[in-house]
Amino acid sequence: MAGPKRLTQHDIAKLAGVSQATVSLVLNGTPTALARIPQETRERVQHVIRATGYVADPIARRMAKGLNRILGVFTYEPAFPSEQADFFTPFLLGIEEEAQAQNYDLLLLTGAGVGRERKIFADGNRLRIADGCLVLGREFDRAELKRLVSGDYPFVAIGRREDAGGPVPYVGGDYTTGTRALVEKARALGHEKLAYVGPSGSAESVVDRWHGFAEAISEGAELVLHVDDVRRSAGEILDAIITCGATAVFFVELADAVRVEAVARERGLSLPGDFSAVVLGSHVRAERSHVQFTSFSIPREEMGRKATTMLVRRIEGAVPIEQILLTCEPVEGETLGPAKKRN
């Protein structure tokens, strides 16, 4: 026995006494197009849709708009290994939440590269299955970023990105301001001899932290130690901190702060009793600690949500390039105290 006939837009148009084009506009039209339809007509069409329980064919709607309603997500580092999960999961939660709200599906693009050599434009890539793509990672392939900027494929970077031959649409964290605020707080507590553990470049997120630090110490404070190579043992880094006389140490990575604190504790030293420690936002290398480090929070979920909203706007209409930096709120912690007076 044949099932009941599926209602079509043509049927809704006959019941509402309007053209099929009007029904299509009510269902799919932009706000500008809808404004041209009298409110009474829109309400009549919507009443018929509700009364009949009509559900638009999603495939037909996608074909009409030329969209698959799929957002791609590409990461230059694997998103799910345990050592990276703490970093990527909040981004993905925000992306998923907003994609669902926007009625888009998600496609995780791992690239066709070999092993960890991921490439957006690798041979056999399936980028065009998605209507646009969110790109995230600590460091981007500059050549691929320039290709995205010069092309017509909608994308949004999560994290500030520059040096791409043109402006990059992005949503990132304001690490410069967040870092500067933490240094200024340390200086207000009497810290004038500061140490910095972590690189100063080349990824934008690392550069921004360094710039915030450098700006804040330019008026009176002294950088007495910079450990750029964090592959050194925690004991070596701690020895260098003690030898240079730093009263406050700023760590780019939480993992480095955790291992230095553990060695200090083994030696009978305490934070912030013997020296203070500040973490410039928990970054890629996940780590656990019994200590709540003074830091700032990175609004990863919000970055994922806003980047997804921005990408949908770029897919569904021509919009100017947007570049948004979100505030990194301070985390009080328990590792920053008044500067210890040195003999």
Question: What value, to the nearest 5°, has the Cα angle with vertex 242 and ends 237 and 248?
Answer: 85
CATH number of 175-298: 3.40.50.2300
pLDDT, position 160: 95
pLDDT, position 60: 53
Residue 89 and residue 91: Cα distance in Å, rounded?
5
Domain range annotation of the chain: 9-64, 70-173+300-326, 175-298
Burial class (CB in 10 A: 0-12, 13-18, 19+), 103: exposed
Tracing tokens 């995780």 back to the chain, one arrives at 108
pLDDT, position 1: 37
pLDDT, position 115: 47
Topology of the domain comprising 9-64: 434 Repressor (Amino-terminal Domain) (1.10.260)
Give pLDDT tens digits along the chain (343 positions).
344 556 788 888 899 999 888 888 887 766 667 778 898 998 998 898 888 877 665 545 555 556 788 999 998 877 666 555 567 889 999 999 999 999 899 998 876 554 457 788 876 677 888 999 999 987 888 899 999 999 889 999 999 998 888 999 999 999 999 999 999 999 999 999 999 999 987 789 999 999 999 999 987 899 999 999 888 999 999 999 999 999 999 999 988 999 999 999 999 999 999 999 999 986 554 456 788 999 999 999 999 999 999 999 999 887 899 999 999 999 999 999 999 875 5
Domain 70-173+300-326 has CATH 3.40.50.2300: yes
| Domain 9-64 shares a fold with domain 70-173+300-326 | no
pLDDT, position 112: 52
pLDDT, position 3: 41
Tokens for 247? 């009263």
Residue 183 contacts by C-beta under 8 Å, 6 or more apart in sequence? Answer: 194, 212, 213, 216, 217, 221, 250
Q: Which amino acid is at 191?
A: H
pLDDT, position 201: 79
Strands 295-296 and 330-331: antiparallel
Contact of 211 with 342, CB cutoff 8 Å: no
Contact of 339 with 189, CB cutoff 8 Å: yes
Tracing tokens 């706000």 back to the chain, one arrives at 31
Other CB atoms within 10 A of residue 327 CB: 14
Question: What value, to the nearest 5°, has the Cα angle with vertex 125 and ends 124 and 128?
Answer: 125
